[in-house]
Amino acid sequence: MFYREAGQYKTSYKADSAIFPILQDRIAIWFYLAVAFIAVPLFGSEFFINSMMIPFLIFSLAAIGLNILTGYTGQISLGSGAFMGVGAYSTYKLVTIFPDMNVILAILLSGFFAAFIGMIFGLPSLRIKGFYLVVTTLAAQFFLEWAFIRIPWLYNYNDSGAIEVPNRRVFDIVVSGSEASATTRYLVVLSIVVGLTWVASNLIHGRIGRSWMMIRDMDIAAELIGVRPLVAKLSVFAVSSFYCGVAGAMMVFLWLGAAEVESFDVNQSFLILFMVILGGLGSLIGSFMGAGFIWMLPIVIRAIPKILGLDINASTVEHINFMIVGALILVFLIVEPHGLARIWAIAKQKLRVWPFPY
């Protein structure tokens, strides 16, 4: 009823080409941003912020990275976990080599290292597609995991082989490390994620995003129109890896506080791929939905017995959790193979014409 666009006439192409052409959508976006920036830090508990919101945002960013590559450009990758690792390890190297460096800057810079590595492992995509490309990205995953273990320089020759986050201040506020408060870290993560999502949305709606989608939908026709496959594919691998790298760096520096190579193994890649597929390929909002679904749902389910006062032991809860989440993923994908984002889009369309069917 409230979601109507009647009376919103667009009188310029600028208004019609806007990313959110409908007024209600624009209001909704500002509302979500207000909730995220003001309400959550004010009213959210330490547990809610640290164990739910921060990882949700970080995984959303990684999912956006993979979605740009897989959803928008059609290049399937199983290396996103490793590219997150590249981000994390290069941030670690940056802050230990340059102790005075702004840690937020280091996190963003590390994205460029990930982008570079991603471009190298994107080279095979110029010749191979589909499942064969999956295998080469899997090779990237295993090679990088090997590098994180076998090149001790990357973790400063620690005996543990892990990277640990030092306490670092930005403008006199502790941002990273054990002394940093959850709210501070949350606000930093949120700002980075919002900023990069905005950039991703801009890229996707412009010339470069179109060239990616052209490659996805019909690469021969794309080349004929003037897209250079080399430029388009390498640029998308770079951008995608940048996002994954920043997400990985934030995961270690602003959430976990320490990490080993296991944090970036192939399971991580699968997790992010599930988020992208469940959320919806080729949709930014879907990346958030997928990450939210896969990360938040188990936590909510875990909390239910406690709320209901049931006395079930923890391992049983965990098993039931796996079953419920797995079943729900199946149900959602059978109902709508295009993911949660498509369900969302259909719901919005229905609302627009309500109470009429079409």
Partner 1 sequence: MSFDVGYTTADGRTIGGVLMEMKNITLRFGGVTAIKNISLDIREGEIRAIIGPNGAGKTSMLNVINGFYHPQEGEIIFRGEHRKRMRPYQAAKQGISRTFQNVALFSGMTTLDNIMAGRQLKMHKNFLWQMLRYGPALNEEIEHRRKVEEIIDFLEIQAIRKTPVGSLPYGLQKRVELARALAAEPSLLLLDEPMAGMNVEEKEDMSRFILDVNDEFGTTIALIEHDMGVVMDLADRVVVLDYGKKIADGTPNEVQKNQDVIDAYLGVA
Contact residues: partner 1, CB under 8 A:
12-14, 16-17, 19, 199, 202-203, 205-208, 210-211, 213-214, 216-218, 220-228, 235, 282
Helix, strand and coil percent figures for the chain, each rounded to 5: 75, 5, 25
Please choose, from the candidates 121, 126, 130, 51, the residue with its C-alpha nearest in 3D space to the C-alpha of residue 85.
121
Residue 334 CB, shortest distance to partner 1, in Å, is 21
Separation between Cα atoms, residue 42 and residue 188, nearest integer Å: 15
Residue 346 CB, shortest distance to partner 1, in Å, is 14
> Which residue, 165 or 238, has its beta carbon nearer to partner 1?
238
Separation between Cα atoms, residue 184 and residue 50, nearest integer Å: 10
> Which residue, 149 or 225, has its beta carbon nearer to partner 1?
225
> Which residue, 252 or 281, has its beta carbon nearer to partner 1?
281
> Which residue, 166 or 195, has its beta carbon nearer to partner 1?
195
Separation between Cα atoms, residue 278 and residue 298, nearest integer Å: 15
> Which residue, 226 or 355, has its beta carbon nearer to partner 1?
226
Write a three-state SS string for 62-129: HHHHHHHHHCCCCCCCCCHHHHHHHHHHHHHHHHHHCCCCCHHHHHHHHHHHHHHHHHHHHHHHHCCC
Q: Please name the helix (run of DSSP H) or strand (run of DSSP E) that holds residue 34, with its range, or none.
A: helix 23-34
Residue 201 CB, shortest distance to partner 1, in Å, is 8
Residue 16 CB, shortest distance to partner 1, in Å, is 8
Separation between Cα atoms, residue 57 and residue 193, nearest integer Å: 7
Orientation angle between helical segments 314-335 and 284-308, nearest 10 degrees: 140
Please give the single-letter amino acid code of residue 295: W
> Which residue, 129 or 210, has its beta carbon nearer to partner 1?
210
Q: What is the dihedral of CA 268, 79, 290, 15, to 10 degrees?
A: 150
Separation between Cα atoms, residue 61 and residue 200, nearest integer Å: 10
Residue 199 CB, shortest distance to partner 1, in Å, is 5
- Strands 258-259 vs 173-176: parallel, antiparallel or unpaired: unpaired
Residue 176 CB, shortest distance to partner 1, in Å, is 26
> Which residue, 199 or 266, has its beta carbon nearer to partner 1?
199
> Which residue, 17 or 158, has its beta carbon nearer to partner 1?
17
Residue 328 CB, shortest distance to partner 1, in Å, is 26
Residue 285 CB, shortest distance to partner 1, in Å, is 16
